[in-house]
Amino acid sequence: MNLLNILKDFFKQSGVRGLAGPLLIVMVLAMMVLPLPPFLLDILFTFNIAVAIMVLLVSMNTLKPLDFSVFPTLLLITTLLRLSLNVASTRIVLLEGHTGPDAAGKVIEAFGHFLVGGNYAVGIVVFMILVVINFVVITKGAGRIAEVGARFTLDAMPGKQMAIDADLNAGLIGEDEARRRRATIAQEADFFGSMDGASKFVRGDAVAGIVILLINIVGGFIVGVLQHNLDMATAAKNYTLLTIGDGLVAQIPALVISTAAGVVVSRVTTEENIGQQLVGQLFSKPLVLLLTGIIIGALGLVPGMPHFAFLLLASILGGGAYLLMQRAKEREAVAEVSTAVPASTEAPEASWEDVSQVDVLGLEVGYRLIALVDKAQDGDLLRRIKGIRKKFTQDIGFLPPAIHIRDNLDLRPNAYRITLKGAEIGSGEAFTGMFLAINPGNATGPLQGNATKDPAFGLPAVWIEASMREYAQAQGYTVVDVGTVIATHLSHLINAHSAELLGLQELQQLIDHLGKQSPKLTEDLVPKLLPLATVQKVLQNLLDEGMHIRDMRTILETLAKFAGQTQDAYQLTAQVRVALGPAIVQQLYPAAQELQVIGMDKELEYLLAQALQAGGSSQAIEPGLADTLLRETRMAAENQEKLGLPTVLMVPSQIRDLLARFLKRSLPQLRVISQDEVPGFKTVRVTAMVGGRA
């Protein structure tokens, strides 16, 4: 009963076609063991020839190698089929060869008698020529092409995967398409590797054919003379012809299969099959056909040459060249008519030169601020911007894109605007010849000037004349010049948007730079274990929470360690944060042994953990709970600020990511760390509580 259920499940999953492979293998093995009658042997030899022809025709009509991905396996099966037929036919030849040339069936008789005229010497020569062609020329060449193709395909895999990741991150393709392309790349490598190995089967088959030929001739001669009392001449003739017929009927399909293998691995992938490529590329040049016809015609005029054959072929080639020339003239005439328009009204065609890319980072200034960014006028802001990029690189850990500066007449004369990927992220006004006096909170008196706010941090400020600079400093104001105002604002925004500045190009440059020091680490991680886009997302998550990525060695080592467990960027980020725990704590609590943090009530932690489990991948918090959590957290943060302590919330690791993303928009100054990120040599003291009391 269990066997019937297994068979039913098999048919339900695979259908009738699922039995084709197992039945063929069983048939091949049976032919090596069971004696076959000559009639059945004729059918199987005919089937072998038909399969070889089908394989050749399919290989010539495929557009790319993966359209015939089963070919390496088919090569093995057809080789086993030929060898099993050799074994079955050898058995009949040795047992019944004394009865005459038709002892092993009509197919072997036809190949041994009619194809070589019954002359076994000619048969041996023809057989050896076929084996040499198959073994030395076709199979060896196809195997070499497959080997080189496999090597080049493997070498090109990282670049292809990076191109897929780039298209995916740019939004040009979706996840499904990216997954399909990655699978195609892997299948190409598997195919050429399999073809490299499968070609050895055919070479072994050729060697086996020679050995079987010699064994059959010698064995048949001995059997005929000693067992069946045939004279030596009759025994030699009968068994040699049968053996030659057997060898030819096996080697001709082998030659066809080898040719198909060479066709599959040697063709260049296009949208045309082999026939279309041959006609389109070999017979599409009228000048080539014309010159070939002239040369063949000249050879046909040489005395002693077969004039009819040469001149006939020369005429055909010349006629073909004439027809191609006529068609080319007709196409040119149609094209001239369709494009004939007055030159004065013809507009220039669009080209890629007309495409203008958006600057990643841009600074636009009004006309009164041009002097600050003009090299000819020794603009001080240019030098400051170079210093900003260098400091950003040293503090954050990667080189940001260049800042493109241009004037914008649409802005107010003293205005400036900072853009990120074409969108404005900050703006302000700066007055040349004046200074900005910023009140840090302890200024003792008011100042005369234009009241404003510091564009970088929003502190109260006043634009004052240069003559009031020393007085403002005496009153406790921080006084800066115009270039410093814009540079500070630009530096603040670049740091705040560091995650968006880390593109795939910047990340690849960073990995290449690290690869000079630790080549094995970078080669094993990207793209073998993780795609570049996943590494980018992990680094962006770290930057988005105000962390630097200077310790790239630790980051990449952690990613390599956990890449086998998960490919989720947020889970990988959590593991990286644990590895960077000492650096995170050092950044938040410089030189402090005791960490004074905001804690969370255990009951509230439990509710959030339950909400996280119930929400699954959506990670949503119920609105009522969200309002309570936000209110309680804001109150705890305010109490922490009153005490002059860092606003750091410490929670269990399973809810850290959820809270960090939830609180980031409403409380950007709050930092959320997990308990696993705190090093063991640090002590923790809860000074404020969310949902309870300290």
pLDDT at 584 (0 to 100)? 92
Amino acid at the residue 236: A
Contacts of 367 (CB under 8 A, 6+ apart): 407, 409, 413
Angstrom distance (rounded) from CA 484 to CA 689: 40
Q: Which residue has the higher pLDDT, 401 or 694?
A: 401
Angstrom distance (rounded) from CA 176 to CA 31: 46
pLDDT at 548 (0 to 100)? 92
Assess whether the region 361-498 and the region 502-579 belong to the same CATH fold. Answer: no
Give 57-113 pLDDT, tens digit per residue.
887 777 776 777 777 777 777 777 777 877 777 777 777 766 656 666 677 777 766
**Superfamily of segment(s) 588-694:** FHIPEP family, domain 4 (3.40.50.12790)
Q: Cα separations (Å) of 162 from 150, 452, 505, 561, 619? A: 19, 48, 11, 21, 30
Closest CA to 236 of 248, 225, 227, 249: 225
Mean pLDDT of 302-324: 80
Amino acid at the residue 82: R
Contacts of 566 (CB under 8 A, 6+ apart): 572
Beta bridge partners of 404: 362
pLDDT at 303 (0 to 100)? 79
Closest CA to 462 of 452, 470, 471: 452
- Kindly indicate the confidence band of residue 694, based on its pLDDT and cuts at 50, 70 and 90: very low
Amino acid at the residue 590: P
Angle ∠(657,661,662) on CA atoms, nearest 5:
115
Length of the chain: 694
Give, as one character, the DSSP assignment of residue 519.
H
pLDDT at 15 (0 to 100)? 53
pTM: predicted TM-score of the whole model, two decimal places: 0.51
Query: Please, what sign has the CA dihedral across residues 498, 504, 508, 509?
Result: negative
3-state helix, strand, coil in the chain (%, to 5): 65, 10, 25
Contact between 258 and 223 under an 8 Å Cβ cutoff? The reply is no
Angstrom distance (rounded) from CA 91 to CA 319: 57
Closest CA to 503 of 399, 418, 575: 399
Q: What is the mean pLDDT of the chain?
A: 80
For the ranges 166-170, 192-196, 342-346, 535-539, the lowest mean pLDDT is seen at 342-346
Closest CA to 43 of 105, 88, 90: 105
Structure tokens at 297: 């015609």
C-alpha 55: how far from its chain's center? 31
Query: Please, what sign has the CA dihedral across residues 369, 375, 381, 386?
Result: positive
Give 154-181 pLDDT, tens digit per residue.
666 666 777 676 666 656 677 778 788 7
Angstrom distance (rounded) from CA 390 to CA 552: 18
Q: Is the pLDDT of residue 42 over 60?
A: yes
pLDDT at 488 (0 to 100)? 92
Beta bridge partners of 428: 416
For the ranges 128-137, 460-469, 480-489, the lowest mean pLDDT is seen at 128-137
Q: Are strands 460-465 and 423-429 parallel, antiparallel or unpaired?
A: unpaired
Q: Which residue has the higher pLDDT, 338 or 499?
A: 499
Structure tokens at 525: 């991680």
Contact between 478 and 438 under an 8 Å Cβ cutoff? The reply is yes
Angstrom distance (rounded) from CA 302 to CA 306: 9
Helices (H), 590-675: 602-615, 623-642, 653-664
Closest CA to 154 of 675, 578, 528: 528
Give 606-620 pLDDT, tens digit per residue.
888 887 776 654 566
Beta bridge partners of 363: 405, 418
Contact between 373 and 366 under an 8 Å Cβ cutoff? The reply is no
Helices (H), 526-622: 532-544, 552-562, 569-579, 581-588, 602-615
What's the CATH architecture for 361-498? Answer: 3-Layer(aba) Sandwich (3.40)
Contacts of 506 (CB under 8 A, 6+ apart): 398, 399, 400, 401
Angstrom distance (rounded) from CA 226 to CA 235: 10
Q: Quickly list DSSP for 389-450.
A: HHHHHHHHSSPPPPEEEEE-TTS-TTEEEEEETTEEEEEEE--TTEEEEE--S---S--SSE
pLDDT at 264 (0 to 100)? 74
Contact between 436 and 486 under an 8 Å Cβ cutoff? The reply is no
Structure tokens at 587: 């950044």
Give 280-307 pLDDT, tens digit per residue.
666 777 777 788 878 878 877 877 777 7
pLDDT at 489 (0 to 100)? 94
pLDDT at 21 (0 to 100)? 64
The pair phi, psi for residue 37, each rounded to 5°, is -75, 155
Place of tokens 């002239």: 294
Q: Is the pLDDT of residue 24 over 80?
A: no
Q: Is the pLDDT of residue 138 over 60?
A: yes
Provide the 3-class DSSP secondary structure of residue 658: helix
Amino acid at the residue 346: E
Place of tokens 């509710």: 607
Contact between 493 and 436 under an 8 Å Cβ cutoff? The reply is no
C-alpha 439: how far from its chain's center? 54
Consecutive H or E run containing 484: helix 482-496
The pair phi, psi for residue 365, each rounded to 5°, is -130, 150
Contact between 260 and 55 under an 8 Å Cβ cutoff? The reply is yes
What residue spans define the domains of the chain? Answer: 1-34, 38-269, 283-329, 361-498, 502-579, 588-694
Query: Please, what sign has the CA dihedral across residues 188, 189, 195, 198?
Result: negative
pLDDT at 501 (0 to 100)? 93
Q: Is the pLDDT of residue 1 over 90?
A: no
Beta bridge partners of 480: 436
Angstrom distance (rounded) from CA 290 to CA 184: 43
**Superfamily of segment(s) 502-579:** FHIPEP family, domain 3 (1.10.8.540)
pLDDT at 73 (0 to 100)? 78
C-alpha 79: how far from its chain's center? 35
Q: Is the pLDDT of residue 151 over 60?
A: yes
Closest CA to 681 of 595, 599, 562: 595
Give 469-487 pLDDT, tens digit per residue.
888 988 889 999 998 899 9
